[in-house]
Amino acid sequence: MNSPIATFDTLYGHSDDPWQLRSRWYERRKRQLTLAALPRERYRNAFEPGCAGGELTALLATRCDTLLAVDLHRKAVELTRARVAPVPDVLRGHARVHVEQHSVPHEWPEGAFDLIVVSELAYYLDDDELDALAERVRLNLTNDGTLVACHWRHPFDTALQSAEAIHAHFDAHCSLAHIAQHQETDLLLDVWSRDARSVAQCEGIA
């Protein structure tokens, strides 16, 4: 089985959008589902490991004050930096976005995050790496923080984990309240938080 970096070398060698993240309705819809699932309107300091071409990053930037996006592959980092380049002042609400090349969970940024988004990443991790990722989330999520995980449910050659196994692992090891789930034939989306209250409860209307 090829390593993820070798696989990505091949994919990015043929296209700067190998998963058709920009053109496929499935991908565009999935990003909107991910944003809609966030229980808070805005976050202070967010982290997105595995940012690929930066399509989700650009949307997360509208909901965060500061956003750190990282990826294993150099090409993904370049594409994401171009995607979230500074916008004109008339486009307000965008985060200060930093994009760096790191291998998660081996290389983990300092500081605490009130939003961590793990999308289409964790099935490339072996059992020990998945353990390490869950522990990093547990230790580095703030007291009011949110964890979002979204993964493709169909098997593929380079996947070491299923979406169900990944999300069950987060559920069991991150010490968070499970507050939402969206499940389809193609994808699994789960949301956890240190704050177990619903959106309506947080706003004092329930």
What's the total number of domains in the chain?
A: 1
- Per residue in 28-78, pLDDT (tens digit) is 999 999 999 999 999 999 999 999 999 999 999 999 999 999 999 899 999
**Cis peptide bond upstream of 105, omega within 30:** yes
Q: The domain that contains 178 carries what CATH number?
A: 3.40.50.150
Q: What pLDDT does residue 4 have? A: 67
Cα angle: 122, vertex 129, 71; to 5 degrees: 55
Boundaries of domain holding 31: 4-202
87 pLDDT exceeds 70?
no
Q: What pLDDT does residue 2 have? A: 53
- Per residue in 95-121, pLDDT (tens digit) is 699 999 999 999 999 999 999 999 999
> Percent of the chain, pLDDT > 70?
92
